[in-house]
Chains A and B, each alone.
Chain A
């Protein structure tokens, strides 16, 4: 983080830039720039590298407007409220959330022929089972994350972290935390079921039984958990404050802690886990669709850009060869042993309607219990 600020500062030149920024605030300059070419993006902090953005603007003359968002639901609500004439061209949807956006006709199918650099994406991500819906591609994968078991390596041993059971053991009572929605899927996996529920699409009764079982399990173990959390920052703070010593988390926030020198380890436990992919998507009726394609193609052009995104976010780049541009510590914090990766599967969207129809009330019940 401090490195990024350094770069940015060098790029702008301290005093002069501050003066100029004060004299004409960005929002005024932006208002004046309207009419020339632009592209509007909704995304998370640090997903579009500053250096890339400056370079892209200089080379193409297309102004990049980034609106920072902080979760999937808000993007959906915002976009839904703006339809049918959105102000956005590109937004950032997690692959397994596609269906919800597609069903509400918020996304335009992606014409990959218009992206000459499409081939730079690792096919694990671009050609995965979740990526094609209704015969179309809907987004360009940029970063990938996964649900992992993170632990304070001063206190918890690597062996203990090889199974999700440790998260529910008496030994670490009051020292664990998880995101409850995500944990529902993982508990199903622990019990040997398909947490995506795709297998049970024709058998809603079976699906309901499984959700009930997972729910009962989490309610039984509720006295052991310190906190049901929502955001990565909360998880990091609990670790730093030693309010918890192990917990379920996404790899991004965990990697950021590792890169900061915190004694944290993370594993994909033997029972398995789920991965997800953030994609850049073009909005239905996007006002600047052509510029959006230009932007995406430029973004996909080189593995360095992918590496910069990984450095900033802690999530794993989907670009071929991006890891070549990472430091050793960065590589360590964003990679897993082969045998652990073999346990990973992606979240899938097909059964989401049924799944969340069952899981959401179960989550409410667990919180209320």
Chain B
């Protein structure tokens, strides 16, 4: 992809070593997690004296785990949709526009991302009560959506700042109104940023324990269930659950990617 690769070959080898070392660092705990799911014991750790498939087959037989997984995915998807919609709107308002109180607006926008977890969870809980939102799925979606908006704003703003102004101006000159020029020019330009932000939001929501716990009702999200199970020990069962959840989300992700690609091709 470099026009003259020979120029940067040394760099490239050096950097790719660093990249793969980083991949190793990131993946080794993951690999250990998968392996421990096969340990025939109630506790993870070395040495492993005997192996079993029991924990993995147990996950699929456990209706609670399966439905909890579905619940967490639903929450992640719905909260992400809200975050992306609101976040993109705010980013469009803030980027490249000078107005009174812009800094204050920006500060308020990033606020939820910066508040420590337990504080934000309790603040949301108190506020939910103040607003009359019942604990449960809706409350969790709301809290996740609000918490994730800043990340969308930051990512989308970064991309927006590189949009050539001339394009919008040209469209305006040719008579496109702001809404249409936004949909036809700005939005397609933002797609990579929006996708990236969505992945990030899905991830944050899917992994969140503390907000889900305080705003949840009687149905646990996956991290809440894992926390509860942890009390009776970090068993291979938890590793198996996490592994299966990982594989399932990856499968959903790949399917969604294929699906959108086909949609784009068809149209």
Contact A68 B224 (CB under 8 A): yes
Q: Tell which of A22-30, A188-196, A338-346 binds the partner.
A: A22-30
- B residues near A (Cβ < 8 Å) are 41-46, 52, 54-55, 58, 60-64, 66-68, 70-71, 122, 125-126, 129, 135, 137, 213-214, 216-220, 224-225, 227-235, 237
Are A12's CB and B214's CB within 8 A? no
Select B41's contact among A17, A22, A260, beta carbons within 8 Å.
Answer: A260
Residues of B close to A327: CB separation below 8 A: none
How many Å from the CB of A118 to the closest CB on chain B?
Answer: 27
Q: Is the CB of B43 within 8 A of A262?
A: yes
Q: Once bound together, how far apart are the Cα atoms of A69 and B231, in whole Å?
A: 9
Is B229 touching A45 in the complex (CB atoms < 8 A)?
Answer: yes
Contacts of B237 in A (CB 8 A): 1, 5
24 A-B pairs whose Cβ atoms sit less than 8 Å apart in the complex? A1-B232, A1-B235, A2-B52, A5-B62, A9-B58, A9-B61, A18-B63, A25-B71, A26-B63, A26-B219, A27-B67, A66-B218, A67-B218, A68-B227, A70-B230, A78-B125, A81-B122, A81-B125, A81-B214, A237-B45, A256-B42, A256-B232, A262-B43, A313-B232
Cα distance, A232 to B228, chains bound together (Å): 12
Closest to A234 in B: B234
Interface flag for A257 (CB, 8 Å): yes
Verify if A87 is at the interface (C-beta below 8 Å from B): yes
Bound-state Cα–Cα, A330 to B54, Å: 22
Secondary structure at the B interface, as helix, strand, loop or mixed, is: helix
CB atoms of A27 and B234 under 8 A apart: no
User: In the docked arrangement, what's the CA distance between A236 and B67, Å?
Assistant: 29
B70 contacts across to A, CB distance below 8 A = 22, 25
A21 engages B230 (CB within 8 Å): no
Q: Which chain A residue has the least Cβ–Cβ distance from B227?
A: A70
Asked whether A236 lies within 8 Å of B43 as measured between CB atoms, the reply is yes
Q: Complex formed: what's the CA distance from A30 to B135 in Å?
A: 15
Q: Does A231 contact B (CB under 8 A)?
A: yes
* A330 CB, min distance to chain B CBs, angstroms: 13
Q: Provide the A1-38 mask, 1 if CB < 8 A to any CB of B, else 0.
A: 11001001100101001101110011100100000000
Cβ contacts under 8 Å, A51 to chain B: none
Query: Is A55 in contact with chain B by the CB < 8 A criterion?
Result: no
**Assuming the A-B contacts A5-B58, A9-B58, are A256 and B233 also in contact, with contact meaning beta carbons closer than 8 angstroms in the complex?**
yes
Please tell me if A133 contacts chain B, counting CB pairs below 8 Å.
no
Q: Which of A218-245 contact B (CB under 8 A)?
A: 231-233, 236-237, 240-241
Residues of chain A contacted by B135 (CB below 8 angstroms): 82, 87
Whether A312 touches B232, Cβ cut-off 8 Å, given contacts A18-B63, A77-B122, A81-B125, is: yes
